[in-house]
Amino acid sequence: MEDGVCSRIYVKGGGGCGGESGSGGGGKGSGSSKCGRWNPTAEQVKVLTELFRSGLRTPSSDQIQKISHHLSFYGKIESKNVFYWFQNHKARERQKRRKLSLPQQHQQQQQHFILPTSSNHQHFADQSMTNKGIMELEPERMMRTLQLFPLNSTIDETQGLPDDDDHQFRVNGMQYEDATAFTYKIETKMDHPPLDLRLSFL
Amino acid sequence: MEDGVCSRIYVKGGGGCGGESGSGGGGKGSGSSKCGRWNPTAEQVKVLTELFRSGLRTPSSDQIQKISHHLSFYGKIESKNVFYWFQNHKARERQKRRKLSLPQQHQQQQQHFILPTSSNHQHFADQSMTNKGIMELEPERMMRTLQLFPLNSTIDETQGLPDDDDHQFRVNGMQYEDATAFTYKIETKMDHPPLDLRLSFL
DNA sequence: CCGGTATGAATGAAAG
DNA sequence: CTTTCATTCATACCGG
């Protein structure tokens, strides 16, 4: 909902969908003249998939921009499409994996939700805790302190931080500003993966 | 993909998910309003949006409680829902309105050396043409149908008043237990006055 | 046209 | 506050 994009009844913007840049006739999406939602072309999907396979899971804004720009060659695309694509792809991948990995039975949860019975968590003395306190307790038990917390998150950017599954990779540290002259890093026909094609624009 | 398995992992403490969010036809979602997560009704969203538009960004605990209580009239809702709503709305509004920076970590472009000689070719960062961040400007294509409206109020938000920015305002320590008795207008520091609906319960 | 399925988009919830 | 995770909603699309 929010500013508009709400639940059901809302007409898709008929206006300004940019022309569907033909781009190579990739089977799938190209034909969709409708402009309600992005429909990736085969090439776009290919590149995105390749990037994903390479380990990229959550591209940074900067990467998104580059990817988006690069993919725009194949057809209309926006940054948010790239963003959503990765989000969805990662999520579904995980989701699928989770379902397949526990076909046993419903892995009953063991959430860390504070239940009303054993409530003894009145430890909201710290300001950094204020927000949390609101929900863990009953709606009536909200503390009265909340205002500001100088908690300025660390702006450090430890790029090489060991994320769980986020293999932030760097393509040889290459950094091409202009993607029009992408290099064809021809794969020497490796066995397993189709390998990357020209995604060295990152 | 897989069917909509309701593999909820979280268990709400307390009364479970008894409360129906319906409340006068609100039933927003396409019916699949399970109890897993709060599904705001149109009225609730409307009020929240209105509050947001009025300048409220980070409601205090007290405010959250009041808002929550007030909105409970339209359907099941908890304090944390209000809290999260504001947080998400604020964050997404910014991410949308802000030129870049979207999901993912920081923009590591804290300091960029611009070589005086080499022209800084191609700069996506400058969306002068499209004035949109990574997430373009909202698709905002909502048809304002009278599919429903609160029966006891004249919610009318037709003015396309531009969102004010970080106008953090604070309600002076006033706290009324019951808002039905008094009608206190939230004092925002904006001058556009006419948009007081019944959110005077703050 | 109508079903199911794949997936883009949105957003609630939460972690950091 | 920022960024990620999970779930859901809405479509495009395919086979019948």
* Structure confidence by residue, pLDDT tens digits, A77-102: 988 899 999 999 999 988 887 776 65
Examine the pLDDT at A159 and tell me if it is beyond 70. Answer: no
Q: Which residues of A touch B14 (CB under 8 A)?
A: 116, 138
Provide the 3-class DSSP secondary structure of residue B69. Answer: helix
| Helix, strand, coil distribution of chain A in percent, nearest 5 | 30, 0, 70
Share of chain B above pLDDT 70, in %: 32
**What is the Cα B89 distance to its own chain's centre?**
4
Identify protein residues whose C-beta is within 7 angstroms of any atom in strand C: A 1-2, 5-6, 37-40, 45, 80-81, 84-85, 87-89, 91-92, 112-113, 131, 135, 153; B 1-3, 10, 37-40, 45, 80-81, 84-85, 87-89, 91-92, 138-139
For the residues B15-35, what does the mean pLDDT come to?
Answer: 40
pLDDT at B83 over 50: yes
Q: Is the pLDDT assigned to residue A137 strictly greater than 50?
A: no
What are the tens digits of pLDDT across the range A176-185?
333 333 333 3
Say yes or no to pLDDT of A150 above 80: no
- Distance (Å, whole) CA B163 – CA B140: 14
Residue B1: its chain A contacts at CB < 8 A? 92, 95-96
Which residue in the set B60, B135, B142 is minimally distant from A79, CB to CB? B135
pLDDT tens figures, B139-198: 433 333 223 233 333 333 333 334 444 444 443 333 333 333 333 343 333 334 444 556
Taking the C-alpha atoms of residue A59 and residue B82, their distance in angstroms, rounded to an integer, is: 30
* Average pLDDT for chain A: 55
Q: What is the pLDDT of residue B60?
A: 92
What is the total residue count of chain B? 202
Highest average pLDDT, of A37-41, B6-10, B105-109, comes from A37-41
What CA–CA distance (Å, rounded) separates B1 from A92?
Answer: 9
More confident residue, A154 or A167: A167
Residue with tokens 């066995």: A191
Residue pointed to by tokens 């624009």: A201
Q: What pLDDT score was predicted for residue B78? A: 92
pLDDT value of residue B140: 38
A140 three-state secondary structure: coil
Q: Is the pLDDT of residue A60 over 90?
A: no
Task: Output the pLDDT for position A199.
Answer: 63
How much is the pLDDT for B186? 39
- Give the pLDDT score at B137: 44
* Tokens (6 digits) for B6: 């309701």
The residue among A109 and A78 whose pLDDT is bigger is A78
A83, burial (CB in 10 Å: exposed 0-12, middle 13-18, buried 19+): buried
Most confident of A59-68, A159-168, A174-183: A59-68
Per-residue model confidence (pLDDT) at position A171: 36
Per-residue burial over A173-192, b = 16 or more CB atoms within 10 Å of its CB, e = otherwise: eeeeeebeeeeeeeeeeeee
Interface with chain A: mutation pick from B21, B87, B106, B111, highest number of A CBs within 10 Å: B106
Once rounded to an integer, what is the mean pLDDT over residues B81-86? 96
Q: What is the arithmetic mean of pLDDT over A142-167?
A: 33
Contact at CB, A139 and B65, closer than 8 angstroms: yes
Q: Kindly report the nearest CA distance between residue A69 and chain B, in angstroms.
A: 8
Work out the average pLDDT over B105-117. Answer: 34
* pLDDT given for residue B97 in this prediction: 67
The predicted structure's pLDDT at residue B80: 92
- Distance between the two ends of chain B, CA-based, in angstroms? 44
Over range B114-138, report the average pLDDT.
38
Nucleotides of C under 7 A from a protein CB: 5-16
| Highest averaged pLDDT of the listed ranges A136-140, B20-24, B105-109 | A136-140
Quick one: average pLDDT of B119-137?
39
Nearest CA to B49 out of A9, A3, A5, A10 is that of A3
Structure tokens at A122: 């009145």
The closest CB to that of A9, out of B64, B103, B147, belongs to B147
Rounded CA-CA distance A158/A174 in Å is: 19
Residue B65 near residue A146, CB atoms below 8 Å: no
In the chain, the amino acid numbered A191 is D
- Is pLDDT of A201 > 70? yes
